[in-house]
A and B are shown apart, each in its own frame.
Chain A
Amino acid sequence: MKVVVIGNGMVGYKFCEKLVKKNTAGNISIVVFGEEVRPAYDRVHLSEYFAGKSADDLSLAPKEWYSENGIVLHLSDPVVSIDREAKTVFSHAGVTESYDYLVLATGSAAFVPPIPGVEKEGVFIYRTIEDLELMTDWAKKSKKGAVIGGGLLGLEAAKAMLDLGVTDTQVIEFAPRLMPRQIDDAGSRLLQSKLEDLGLTIHTSKNTTAINGNDAITSMSFSDDSSFDVDMLVISAGIKPRDELAKNAALEVGPRGGITVNDHLQTSDPFIFAIGECALHKGMIYGLVAPGYEMADVVVTKLTGGEKSFTGFDMSTKLKLIGVDVASFGDPFVSGDGIKSIVFDDSVKGVYKRINVSADGKELLGGILVGDAEQYNMLLQTCKNKVVLPPNTEDVILGARGGEGDGGAGVTSLPDDAVICSCEAVTKGDICGAVQMGYETVDGIKKCTKAGTGCGGCVPMVKDLMVHTMKAAGKVVRNVLCEHFDYSRQELFDLIKLNDLRTYDEVLTKLGKGDGCELCKPPVSSILASLWNEVILKKGNDTAQDSNDRFLANIQKGGTYSVVPRIPGGEITPEKLIVIGQVAKKYNLYTKITGGQRIDLFGAHLSDLPNIWEELIEAGFESGHAYGKSLRTVKSCVGSTWCRFGLHDSVSFAIKVEERYRGLRAPHKLKGGVSGCIRECAEAQSKDFGIIATEKGWNLYVCGNGGSKPQHALLLASDIDEETCLKYLDRFLMFYVKTADPLTRTATWLNKMEGGIDYLRSVVVHDALGMNAEWEAAMESHVNSYECEWKAAIETPELRKRFNHFVNAPEEKDPTVVFDPMREQKRAKEWK
Chain B
Amino acid sequence: MIAEKTITWFAACSVTDVPANGGVCVKYNDTQIALFHFTRRDEWYATQNECPHRMQMALSRGMIGTQNDEPKVACPFHKKTFSLVTGECLSGDECAIKTYEVKVEEGIVYIGIED
Interface of A toward B, CB cutoff 8 Å: 443, 446-447, 450, 453-456, 483-484, 505, 508, 514-522, 540, 542-544, 546-548, 550-551, 555, 557-559, 802, 805-809, 812, 814-816, 831-832
**A555–B59 CA distance with the chains assembled, in angstroms:** 12
**Are B76 and A548 touching (Cβ within 8 A)?**
yes
**A447–B89 CA distance with the chains assembled, in angstroms:** 11
**Are A515 and B77 touching (Cβ within 8 A)?**
no
* Stretch from B1-9, B19-27, B97-105 that touches the partner: B19-27
**Are A832 and B54 touching (Cβ within 8 A)?**
yes
Q: B68 contacts which chain A residues (CB < 8 A)?
A: 483
A interface SS class: loop
How many inter-chain contacts with C-beta < 8 Å in the A-B complex?
116
Minimum distance in angstroms from A552 CB to a CB of chain B:
12
Which residues of B (16-35) have their CB < 8 Å from a CB of A? 17-22, 24-27, 30, 32, 35
Q: B85 contacts which chain A residues (CB < 8 A)?
A: none
- What are 26 A-B residue pairs whose CB atoms fall within 8 Å in the complex? A443-B91, A446-B91, A453-B80, A483-B68, A515-B38, A515-B40, A515-B69, A516-B66, A518-B65, A518-B79, A521-B65, A540-B20, A542-B19, A543-B20, A543-B21, A544-B21, A544-B63, A547-B62, A548-B76, A550-B22, A555-B61, A802-B19, A807-B24, A814-B25, A815-B30, A816-B50
**A135–B27 CA distance with the chains assembled, in angstroms:** 79
**Are A559 and B58 touching (Cβ within 8 A)?**
yes
Minimum distance in angstroms from A521 CB to a CB of chain B:
5
Q: A521 contacts which chain B residues (CB < 8 A)?
A: 63, 65
A-B residue pairs, 10 tightest by C-beta: A517-B65, A543-B22, A547-B76, A518-B74, A807-B24, A518-B63, A806-B27, A515-B66, A831-B54, A516-B65
**Are B19 and A559 touching (Cβ within 8 A)?**
no
Closest B residue to A450 using CB positions = B92
Minimum distance in angstroms from A554 CB to a CB of chain B:
10
**Are A517 and B63 touching (Cβ within 8 A)?**
yes
Question: What count of chain B residues pass the 8 Å CB interface test?
Answer: 44
Minimum distance in angstroms from B102 CB to a CB of chain A:
13
Known contacts: A456-B78, A515-B38. The answer to whether A483 contacts B67 by CB under 8 A is: yes
**A135–B20 CA distance with the chains assembled, in angstroms:** 81
Closest B residue to A805 using CB positions = B25
Q: B35 contacts which chain A residues (CB < 8 A)?
A: 807
Q: B12 contacts which chain A residues (CB < 8 A)?
A: 807-808
Minimum distance in angstroms from B57 CB to a CB of chain A:
5
Q: A809 contacts which chain B residues (CB < 8 A)?
A: 27
Minimum distance in angstroms from A466 CB to a CB of chain B:
16
B96 at the interface (CB under 8 A from A): no
**A334–B71 CA distance with the chains assembled, in angstroms:** 52
**A488–B53 CA distance with the chains assembled, in angstroms:** 31
**A558–B50 CA distance with the chains assembled, in angstroms:** 11
**Are A547 and B78 touching (Cβ within 8 A)?**
no
Q: B83 contacts which chain A residues (CB < 8 A)?
A: none
Known contacts: A454-B78, A555-B61, A555-B76. The answer to whether A807 contacts B13 by CB under 8 A is: yes
Q: B77 contacts which chain A residues (CB < 8 A)?
A: 555
Q: A443 contacts which chain B residues (CB < 8 A)?
A: 91
**Are B56 and A812 touching (Cβ within 8 A)?**
no
Closest A residue to B80 using CB positions = A453
**A555–B61 CA distance with the chains assembled, in angstroms:** 10
**A754–B24 CA distance with the chains assembled, in angstroms:** 46
Minimum distance in angstroms from A457 CB to a CB of chain B:
11
Q: A447 contacts which chain B residues (CB < 8 A)?
A: 91-92
Minimum distance in angstroms from A609 CB to a CB of chain B:
12
**CB within 8 A of B63: which of A453, A547, A558?**
A547
**CB within 8 A of B40: which of A505, A542, A551?**
A505
**Are B21 and A547 touching (Cβ within 8 A)?**
no
**Are B55 and A832 touching (Cβ within 8 A)?**
yes
| Extra pairs beyond A455-B78, A518-B81, A543-B19 (6, CB < 8 Å) | A521-B65, A540-B19, A547-B61, A806-B32, A815-B30, A816-B50
**CB within 8 A of A807: which of B17, B38, B62, B91?**
B17
Closest B residue to A454 using CB positions = B78
Q: B65 contacts which chain A residues (CB < 8 A)?
A: 484, 515-521
**A548–B65 CA distance with the chains assembled, in angstroms:** 17
**A354–B66 CA distance with the chains assembled, in angstroms:** 48
Known contacts: A515-B71, A518-B79, A831-B56. The answer to whether A812 contacts B63 by CB under 8 A is: no
Q: A546 contacts which chain B residues (CB < 8 A)?
A: 63
Q: A516 contacts which chain B residues (CB < 8 A)?
A: 21, 40, 65-66
**Are B56 and A559 touching (Cβ within 8 A)?**
yes
**Are A806 and B55 touching (Cβ within 8 A)?**
no
